[in-house]
Amino acid sequence: MIRSSVDRQPWGAILAFLLPAFTVYTAFTAYPVLRTFWNSFHKVLPRSEEFVGAENYAALAQDELFWRAVRNTFTWACVSPLAEVGIGLALAMALYARVPGMRFFRIAWFTPVLMSYVVVGIIWVWIYNYDWGAANALLRALGLGVLVQAWIGDPKLALPSLIFITTWMWSGFNMVVLLAALHSLPSEVVEAAELDNCGWGAKLWYVIVPLIKPTLLNLLVLSFIGKMKIFDLVWITTKGGPLWSTETVSTYVYKRAFEWTSFDLGYPSTIAAVWFVIVLSAVLTLTWLFRTRERLEY
């Protein structure tokens, strides 16, 4: 009798606690994902839905604009994390080493991440303005007028220019997270390295980086995922142009869903479904590659 009363589960309470979260998750995450996959096999018009089998997938395989968007997005997602985390680590090290004015720099470097992509996009469109933008004004002031460019107007420069913006924006976030990781390092290990006359470079490479490796890897993966989904900045600055040089998968999905003269949601859903699988696979692969085989002990 005693055993059965202890083992009896309070199902009512469990359900009461789980139901709200489960309902929200089902309605706003699971159902939309499943519906997107369903739509990808249909032609979805306002008043009709027609099963088209794998027709949308076959069309997508032949869609040059989609593959161009995939290339741009992968380029962004591979370059940005390395730049953001690398610069973030350098800035964190500078603050960790207590550079003069560190309080000011910590705030200044972190501030960009507090702004929305919309605000950042508008600011950088001004900065990149050919005639009076700060970037070209600086080059002219330095006597480097030959380097003045239409930064987001030239297909060769537009994507690197946008990657520069996200790097500027997110390096501060990486800096703050890495600074926290640096401050949590065991002081005896760092001091032991110093007693062994270990220089800054060696200390960073052989002591600090291995100790903060999990944080670095998490930041890389987070940045990668963020860039695989990037939309707002592109929409504000270039809308995917010029000549699709900054087209990302997200902007292409939006264009196909809302800007092309069609109401069909089937094809855009196919793009979204394929991209979901690609992003998920990439993240799982990265997680597998970066898995820590052995626990560090200190």
Q: Which residues bind other proteins (CB under 8 A)?
A: 45-47, 65, 125, 128-131, 150, 152-155, 241-244, 255, 257-263, 265
The DSSP call for residue 154 is: S
Are the C-beta atoms of residues 43 and 264 closer than 8 Å to each other?
yes
Q: What angle do CA 155, 168, 96 make, to 5 degrees?
A: 150
Comparing CB distances to other proteins, the nearer of 92 and 152 is 152
Q: Minimum CB separation from other proteins for residue 66, in Å? A: 12
Q: Minimum CB separation from other proteins for residue 274, in Å? A: 19
Q: Where are the alpha helices (DSSP H) in the chain?
A: 2-7, 11-25, 31-39, 55-61, 64-96, 102-110, 117-127, 134-141, 155-183, 187-195, 200-202, 209-228, 232-237, 249-254, 266-289
Comparing CB distances to other proteins, the nearer of 229 and 255 is 255
Q: Minimum CB separation from other proteins for residue 243, in Å? A: 5
| Prior bond of 100 cis (ω within 30°) | no
Comparing CB distances to other proteins, the nearer of 28 and 263 is 263
* CA gap 78, 109 in Å, rounded: 22
Comparing CB distances to other proteins, the nearer of 85 and 127 is 127
Q: Minimum CB separation from other proteins for residue 150, in Å? A: 6
What are the distances in angstroms from CA 254 to CA 32, 231, 278? 16, 9, 18
The DSSP call for residue 293 is: S
Q: Minimum CB separation from other proteins for residue 252, in Å? A: 10
Comparing CB distances to other proteins, the nearer of 191 and 259 is 259
Q: Minimum CB separation from other proteins for residue 263, in Å? A: 5
Comparing CB distances to other proteins, the nearer of 32 and 155 is 155
